[in-house]
Amino acid sequence: MCRASDTGAITQSVNVASQKASIIGDKVRSLTPREQIYNIPNILTASRLIAAPFVGYLVLHEQHKWALALFAYAGITDLVDGWIARKYKLQTVVGSVIDPMADKFLMTILTVTLSMNGLLPVSLATLILGRDVSLAVAALYWRYASLPAPKTFKRYWDFSLPSAEVHPTTMSKYNTFLQLLLIGATLAYPVITADNHHMGIMHDIGLEKLDLAQFMTYFQIVVAATTAWSGLSYAFLKDAVKILGKDEQLKLKQGRRGRAIIGVTFGSVVAAAAYLALTKDLPKKKEEGVVA
């Protein structure tokens, strides 16, 4: 039978051990680098991510002024959060992930919703979205093929194990800029043409609604061309993707296969977009008198 003194000694020993474990845990945590993710740049980026579905909702319900205002907010915060992060050394891994995610999420939602309500040709929307899907499929292959063994699900998504690097081509950078301009112009078009004051200004400088419609059509053709060019550039340029590793022959084979995936998938997308343009979008524009 345990005496009270023995019980007290055991309790004291447990408490001491618990305190030591707590101290050791605190020291380990202090040695583990942790990022301060709750900073102004990340909050601004997260706000863009949250705003994207609302912009799409406003477009579908033809609230174009509010949609344009939110799009402008997204563009301004995209510039501001990057500047703040660089100036005050607030760059984080989380920020490097969610920043391009927010941009792509917004672009995807706007491409879909603008095409649904007829402001963006279905053929162009197919081309824009199809390019992104083709590159994503190839990226999934490159990640799997170049991942060092063992190839497990956990290791596949562990990006601390780099296996391939994708370098945006020059045309891809120009294309992204032109796509953003086109989306902004497409959002602004119904706002301008529905306002008599704005159209009065356009008339004073010699522009009519039909002129604006024709300009938008030519702009769409330019963006379609740059989108096709940028997508196919990943299929032909070897330097666009760098496979990491020491086996040069294997790296060449993996690179060729990935480029072949882009060539086949995006080639099919281009063909589908061309068919839609000839059978749906072009006849529609002829009816509207936008093209001869």
Q: Are residues 97 and 203 in the same domain?
A: no
Of 251, 231, 254, which Cα lies nearest the Cα of 179?
A: 231
Residue 241 bridge partners (DSSP): 166
Which residue among 102, 117, 132 closes a domain?
117
Has residue 24 been placed in a domain? no
DSSP code per residue over 151-196: --HHHHT-TTS--EEE---HHHHHHHHHHHHHHHHHHHHHHHHT-H
Q: Is 18 in contact with 11 (CB distance < 8 Å)?
A: no
Which residue among 89, 117, 145 closes a domain?
117
Q: Are residues 171 and 285 in the same domain?
A: yes
Separation between Cα atoms, residue 229 and residue 61, nearest integer Å = 33
DSSP code per residue over 69-84: HHHHHHHHHHHHHHHH
Q: What is the pTM of this model?
A: 0.76
Has residue 13 been placed in a domain? no
For residue 288, give its domain range: 119-292
Q: Determine which helix (DSSP H) or strand (DSSP E) holds 241, and give its type and residue range.
A: strand 241-243
Token pair 């023995």 is found at 6
3-state secondary structure at position 242: strand
Q: Are residues 152 and 282 in the same domain?
A: yes
Tens-level pLDDT at each residue, the chain (292 residues) = 455 555 665 666 656 556 665 665 555 444 444 556 778 888 899 999 999 999 999 999 999 999 999 999 999 998 888 888 888 887 776 777 788 888 889 999 999 999 999 999 999 999 999 999 998 888 888 888 877 778 888 888 776 666 676 777 888 889 989 999 999 999 998 888 876 656 666 666 666 666 788 889 999 999 999 999 999 998 888 777 777 767 677 777 878 888 899 999 999 999 999 999 999 877 776 666 666 5
Q: Is 209 in contact with 199 (CB distance < 8 Å)?
A: yes
